Chains A and B, each alone.
Chain A
Amino acid sequence: DTGVSQDPRHKITKRGQNVTFRCDPISEHNRLYWYRQTLGQGPEFLTYFQNEAQLEKSRLLSDRFSAERPKGSFSTLEIQHTEQGDSAMYLCASSSTTAYGYTFGSGTRLTVV
């Protein structure tokens, strides 16, 4: 068990470009979450999957954001037409059906210039 893996660790992009992040959860975890954390703040919920089904999506998630988990394993988070306000740490976490409390990955830090 290697924990939750996120790739890349850092991403610098120009405003208007599209970016995609990947998250590989712990293999036996069927729940996967995405959070966003800006400097000096706690993480904010973005979306949540159980297996391949996206069960909840925050109102924070504009139409420029889309997340998928096509086979119920890894997940991707795509941001289209990035804006400077998208600069943040994007955190992925996973959990099992029977246990409360997530395991977080190390995050992807996005900087939009």
Chain B
Amino acid sequence: AQSVTQLDSQVPVFEEAPVELRCNYSSSVSVYLFWYVQYPNQGLQLLLKYLSGSTLVKGINGFEAEFNKSQTSFHLRKPSVHISDTAEYFCAVSEGGAQKLVFGQGTRLTINP
């Protein structure tokens, strides 16, 4: 069965520093991969998605992620973070084009001035 592991529950960084949020998945078939962001007391907003094609995917708010099939990873990166990036970030996978998403447990990104 598919599963998603977000390796860091919390990531503190200083403003304008680069950040990487790690995500690994397990699946025996082809997958679609997603990153969502959740601000306090709000629903989830789609940051970016990988369906096929180029393994480097660019999303909103300056985020990007790279799909690595051999390492079954889909890490999220941003070269320079801002205070407004403080939020919870969730990696998710759908297996074989299924509609259901399986989410990781989330990574809380905290930006310090």
Contact = CB atoms under 8 A, between A and B. Distances in A.
Interface of A: 4, 6, 31, 33, 40-45, 48, 55-56, 91, 93, 95, 100-107, 109
A41 B6 CA distance: 11
B35 to A, nearest CB: 10
A48 B100 CA distance: 8
B100 A104 contact: no
A42 B43 contact: no
Contacts of A6: 43
Interface of B: 4, 32, 34, 36, 41-46, 49, 51, 90, 92, 94, 97, 99-106
A55 B100 CA distance: 11
Contacts, number: 58
**Chain B interface helix/strand/loop/mixed:** strand
Contact of A104 (B4, B41, B43, B51): B43
24 contacts: A4-B43, A33-B100, A41-B105, A42-B90, A42-B103, A42-B105, A42-B106, A43-B44, A43-B90, A45-B101, A48-B100, A55-B99, A56-B99, A93-B43, A95-B99, A100-B49, A100-B51, A100-B97, A101-B34, A101-B46, A102-B46, A102-B101, A104-B36, A107-B42
